[in-house]
Structure 1
Amino acid sequence: MESSNTTARNANLRYVIIGAGMAGLLAAIKLKERGETNFIVYEKGDSIGGTWRENRYPGLTCDVPAHAYTYSFAPNPDWSAFYAPGPEIKAYFEKVANDFGVMNSIRFNREVTGCRFDDAANRWDITLVDGTTDTADVVIAASGVLHHPNVPDIAGLESFAGKAFHSARWDDTAELDGARVGVVGTGSTGVQIVTALQPRTAHLVHFQRSPQWIMPVPFFEYSEEDRAAFRANPSLIDQIRYSEEYWENIYRFNRALVDPHGPDMQAIQNVVLNNLETSVKDPVLREKLRPNYIAACKRLIYSWCYYDHVQQPNVTVETGRIDHIEPAGVRMQDGTLHELDVLVLATGFKADRFIRPTVVTGRGGVSLDDAWSVRPSAYYAMTIPDFPNFFMLNGPTGPVGNFSLIDIAERQWGYIEQLLEHLRHGAKQVAPKKEAFLDYEERRIEAAKKTVFGSGCTSWYLDAEGVPASWPWSYEAFAEAMSKPKFEDYTILS
């Protein structure tokens, strides 16, 4: 029987949340706020924080203004700077989890290895890494995107005599002061590490496969007087988070992403080009740092000081190709050897994994790996046909870019809550119809190819077929879509 108008109240749904990062904590807090008590959060790590736990490298900073990178219901008057450092962000999430009373609902070091939907019982059977099991009426997959390190396959890496490690597996025993350090990778992480380590090292080599456009941004610390004012008058925080200027910047930036040949992208291109031309004095270095693609085709780098640091005499920007690693350092294809004591691999993450390697099996034995054999995708980034009562936060094809994913997750939760109401009122299964999903994907792919992400560069935004794995429409269109599900696009079984 199919129904969209269920009435019987099911007040004891069991929820399993996977992940205790930003999105998982959001789900737990929102469930608790509405009086739900039968939920648990399984976290594979030993503490909360998600990407802010995984990443501990020097220079780690969020590139979203701190007062915008907070839950709407939990402003933080005590940020130390306009862009908050990583340890403060992790501490913020810990404080929020404690303040909202969800810490006791989290089980640490309990990685979920399997989720199988039981068709007869209309529930999910959960398997944990230690062999224990659980059941759930609802699964909230809040496992994040960037948490499976992408370690490059460079010949001889294991032979390096010094310390070599991925940026998300930072080795605190590595001696950095006065050392010769190599950093592979020019994304946000690589740029932040270079700016932090340059003053500390004897010599630093930044291995650059492709240069990045750098968006100059303001940076300043908040004084104790500033923080006292925020504490005394929280509306001052709202004036930052909800300011017309901030949101118009978000809307304008997203218009540029959607229309890479329009005036908004041209304005961005002018800013980053002027930043390069006026900031880098050496014409040879300037050409090394000049990208050959449109700004934001790769994730735009926000930095107030990278060009300053990379021009220091103890920095070499290496644009040649690495041939192999040997005990003494990095050997280039032209024969050059960069002798190093420490090698940092700021080479990003496998952005197509999401909840995997957890084995997820849906209705009728359908495998998530099979469903995602071409590319990871979900209906409006949250739900998948044949995987009933399974909801993703910041799942595949969601908005990505230089804006707060907290805001994205909060909007997604508002959408999910409206679907959960059907389960709370007696429905057994809620899942998108295949035809609705296929229509969404067809429209999304066609639009995504026209965005800046599809304009000709390589990036982690692209799936295995070169299609941008992102929301391809405006931010306003996303907000509108999240305001209310199209219930006619869902199969709701009672």
Structure 2
Amino acid sequence: MTDATDVLVIGSGFSGICMGIKLKQSGRDDFVILEKGADLGGTWRDNTYPGCACDVPSHLYSFSFEQNPRWSRTFSPQREIWDYLRHCADAYGLTRHLRFGAEVTAARFDEAERRWQVEVNGSDLIDSRVVVAGIGALHHPNVPGLPGLATFGGTTFHSAQWRHDHCLDGRRVAVIGTGASATQFVPKIASRVAHLDLYQRTAAWVTPKPDPRIDSDRQRLYAARPAVQHSIRDVIFWALEARGAGFTVTPRAMAMLEKQARAHLARQIDDPDLRARLTPDYQIGCKRILLSDDFYPALTRDNVDLVT
């Protein structure tokens, strides 16, 4: 079967949904958004591990043209972000343009016809003038080929494909990696497991996470006066953009941020040996900066060991 469309968008995460909205706003209606999953949302559909949330303030981690006055927290949890994307798709009339269970398996550009031939699910073809790739980078979890992993007798899974059917209560658990996901789910499972070994290759800089709830009065204010929320968004945007200048123009700013991270570590970790192993040996910002108020305390539990 061969279909035809003017614009074909691959993926229905933030990029794909935004592309669809902008096509609608420009008066274009002849387009399709292909999604290999059963629903839209990309990484916010797939990642459901305990504690999953955004580490960018929600006023900024959203479309500037579709602010959400109903965020419950400064850093919204996974479910709210997923619901927000579905709201955007409904509000801008994208539902009929979405095709779920449609995985792009090949794409070839016909030089003579100046058109794309896109193969879907290994058989169907869609002829398109333009192809927009909004595939993201997180939909194929990186599972390292560790020796012995294939023959391990226990249960294994990647945090991006969390096994909610496998109860961790009272079990011995090994977590490999201390990146952004681990800092969120380790505190959530540490109190439930019998013992947790956390394997760390490289320590990460961790700064405090100011995550207050947004009360109903503030939500009503944002709904009634959108300019207030936009102003907050602008402040957050420029504050984060200023970090880039810290590497090139004002390195003192990054030094201040590193000092804050060191103080955060010192406040939460009393054991000098553990604190030393959690202290990175590189300048802050060279790797992703993490935000958490409960990751370090989780590592001080009697049933948690950091393996370095």
TM (normalized to structure 2)?
Answer: 0.94
Matched with 1:250 is 240
Q: Is the 8 A contact 2:105 2:122 kept in 1?
A: no
Matched with 1:197 is 189
Which SS does the other structure have where 2:190 is aligned? helix
Instruction: Say whether residues 1:129 and 2:103 are aligned partners.
Output: no
Distance in 1, matches of 2:164 and 2:117, equals 39
Q: Which of 157, 161, 176 is equivalent to 2:168?
A: 176
Q: Is the 8 A contact 1:124 1:139 kept in 2?
A: yes
Q: Is the 8 A contact 1:215 1:301 kept in 2?
A: yes
Q: Is the 8 A contact 1:219 1:304 kept in 2?
A: no
Distance in 1, matches of 2:192 and 2:67, equals 35
Matched with 1:311 is 300
The root-mean-square deviation of aligned C-alpha atoms, in Å, is: 1.7
Distance in 2, matches of 1:313 and 1:219, equals 27
Q: Which of 58, 62, 70 is equivalent to 2:54?
A: 62
User: Which segment is superposed worse, 173-182 or 135-144?
Assistant: 173-182
Q: Is the 8 A contact 1:42 1:111 kept in 2?
A: yes
Distance in 1, matches of 2:213 and 2:169, equals 25
Matched with 2:26 is 34
TM (normalized to structure 1)?
Answer: 0.59
Q: Is the 8 A contact 1:110 1:130 kept in 2?
A: no
Which SS does the other structure have where 1:70 is aligned? coil
Q: Which of 259, 281, 292 is equivalent to 1:292?
A: 281
Distance in 2, matches of 1:237 and 1:165, equals 39
Q: State, as a whole percentage, how many aligned pairs show the same letter.
A: 37
Instruction: Say whether residues 1:82 and 2:74 are aligned partners.
Output: yes
Deviation at 1:257, TM superposition (A): 4.1
Q: Based on CA coordinates, which of the two structures has the bigger radius of gyration?
A: 1
Instruction: Say whether residues 1:270 and 2:262 are aligned partners.
Output: no
Deviation at 1:41, TM superposition (A): 0.6
Instruction: Say whether residues 1:227 and 2:219 are aligned partners.
Output: yes
Q: Is the 8 A contact 2:60 2:237 kept in 1?
A: no
Deviation at 1:200, TM superposition (A): 2.2
Which SS does the other structure have where 1:20 is aligned? coil
Distance in 2, matches of 1:267 and 1:215, equals 12
Which SS does the other structure have where 1:53 is aligned? helix
Distance in 2, matches of 1:179 and 1:85, equals 26
Aligned length: 305
Which SS does the other structure have where 1:137 is aligned? strand
Unaligned runs of 5+ in 2: none
Q: Is the 8 A contact 1:115 1:126 kept in 2?
A: yes
Which SS does the other structure have where 1:92 is aligned? helix
Unaligned runs of 5+ in 1: 1-11, 320-494
Matched with 2:112 is 120
Q: Is the 8 A contact 1:40 1:106 kept in 2?
A: yes
